[in-house]
Structure formats: structure tokens, C-alpha cells
């Protein structure tokens, strides 16, 4: 009986920061070595997480809808740019999904839904006030994922 599980599905979150391409290409390279499918994920942060902060006088559902639509367009474009790289790297299939909610929770839930064998994500995305307010997404995913998580420091990997 083998303890080592075959890697067939890799989930990789992106945040469209400058590091996203580095992380996605690194994940594609790794997934390609196993001939695995790759699932890119982007999560639009919920406005509920900003409670206590000033929210502009705009309908929240309208604003959230616009953010989701914009994120879908950006993710489609990002995946279009990644497609050739993924094929050359040996990735079986490239999929993507955009969610709204708590970033770490949505990543973990998507990995469970897809029965991911591995999550590959960056240790650094956006910084500053958002990181201070919400903590490290990578840390939360590592602590709550039901599959192994590989983190990549984009400043040392390439």
C-alpha cells in the first residue's frame, strides 16, 4: 500500500499582483511535471470584511456585481496569457474560477470541491494595510487545507 498520492489536480490562487504571473508559472511548471490539471482561483474580498470602515454611498450588491464582472474579465485575460505556457509545461487542462467571500475559505473550499491533490500559492501578494488587517492568506490556507499546500516565495524562486 502506497502512502504517496498521485498529483492530478492543482489549485493555485492568484490576486493579480505583480507576483501572480511568477506564482502561476511556477505552479504550472510543477503541475506539468505530473501531467496534472491546474485550477486558477481569484477571490473578490467580501465587503462584510470591511465593517467599521467607510463604504461609499453606492448599492453594495451593484458594486459587488461590478467587481465580480471585472474580476471575471481579468481572470479570463490572465488565463489567456497563461494558456501557452501551461501547454508547454505539460499541464493537462487549465481551468479558472472567480469567487466572492473570505479569500482563504474560498480557496480551501474550491480545493475540496475539485478534490485537489495540492494547493500551490505565493507567500506574498498585495501588502500594506490589507495584509495588516486581514493577516496572511497563505498562513490561513496552510492551517485549514485538507490537502498539502506548497508555498512559493516569489522573491526567491526566479
- The residues spanned by each domain of the chain are 9-152
User: Does residue 130 register a pLDDT over 50?
Assistant: no
Say how far apart CA 155 and CA 158 lie, in whole Å.
7
List C-alpha distances in Å: 63 to 34, 36, 46, 68, 123. Answer: 40, 36, 11, 9, 29
Third-level CATH fold of 9-152: Rossmann fold (3.40.50)
pTM of the model: 0.84
Say how far apart CA 10 and CA 34 lie, in whole Å.
10
Which three three-digit cell numbers place residue 69? 464582472
pLDDT of residue 67: 87
Comparing 8-12, 118-122, 124-128, the range with the smallest average pLDDT is 124-128
Amino acid at each position: 500500500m502506497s502512502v504517496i498520492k498521485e498529483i492530478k489536480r492543482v489549485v493555485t490562487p492568484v490576486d493579480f499582483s505583480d507576483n501572480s504571473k511568477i506564482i502561476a508559472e511556477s505552479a504550472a511548471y510543477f503541475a506539468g511535471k505530473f501531467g496534472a490539471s491546474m485550477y486558477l482561483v481569484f477571490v473578490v474580498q467580501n465587503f462584510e470584511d470591511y465593517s467599521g470602515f467607510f463604504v461609499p454611498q453606492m448599492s453594495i450588491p451593484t458594486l459587488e456585481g461590478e467587481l465580480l464582472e471585472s474580476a471575471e474579465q481579468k481572470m479570463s485575460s490572465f488565463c489567456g496569457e497563461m494558456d501557452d505556457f501551461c501547454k508547454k509545461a505539460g499541464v493537462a487542462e487549465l481551468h479558472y474560477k472567480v469567487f466572492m467571500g473570505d479569500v482563504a475559505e474560498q480557496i480551501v473550499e474550491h480545493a475540496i470541491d475539485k478534490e485537489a491533490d495540492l494547493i500551490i500559492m505565493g507567500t506574498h501578494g498585495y501588502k500594506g494595510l490589507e495584509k495588516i488587517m486581514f493577516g496572511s492568506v497563505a498562513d490561513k490556507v496552510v492551517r485549514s487545507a485538507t490537502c498539502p499546500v506548497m508555498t512559493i516565495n516569489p522573491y526567491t524562486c526566479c
